[in-house]
Amino acid sequence: MAGGSAIRGSRVGAGPMGEEERGEAAPRVTVSYWCVNGHETRPSFVDDIGTTVPVEWDCPRCGFPAGMDALNPPAPPRNEPYKTHLAYVKERRSDKDGAQLLDEALASLRARRGES
Give whole-number Cα distances, 28 to 5, 24, 41, 66, in Å. 40, 12, 16, 20
Task: Give residue-wise pLDDT tens across range 54-80.
Answer: 999 999 999 999 999 999 999 998 888
Residues in the chain: 116
Query: Strand, helix or coil at 48?
Result: coil
Residue 36 has φ and ψ, to the nearest 5°, of: -65, -20
Task: Give residue-wise pLDDT tens across range 19-59.
Answer: 666 677 788 899 999 999 999 999 999 988 888 899 999 99
Share of the chain above pLDDT 90, in %: 47
| pLDDT for res 107 | 93
In terms of Cβ atoms closer than 10 Å to its own Cβ (0-12, 13-18, 19+), residue 73 is buried
Number of other CB atoms surrounding residue 57 within 10 Å = 20
> Each residue of 12-47: b (16+ CB within 10 Å) or e?
eeeeeeeeeeeeeeeeeeeeebbbbeeeeeeeeeee
pLDDT at 95 over 60: yes
Longest dimension (CA), the chain: 102
pLDDT at 84 over 60: yes
What is the pTM for the complete model shown? 0.53
- Dist. CA 26–CA 101, nearest whole Å: 67
pLDDT at 112 over 80: yes
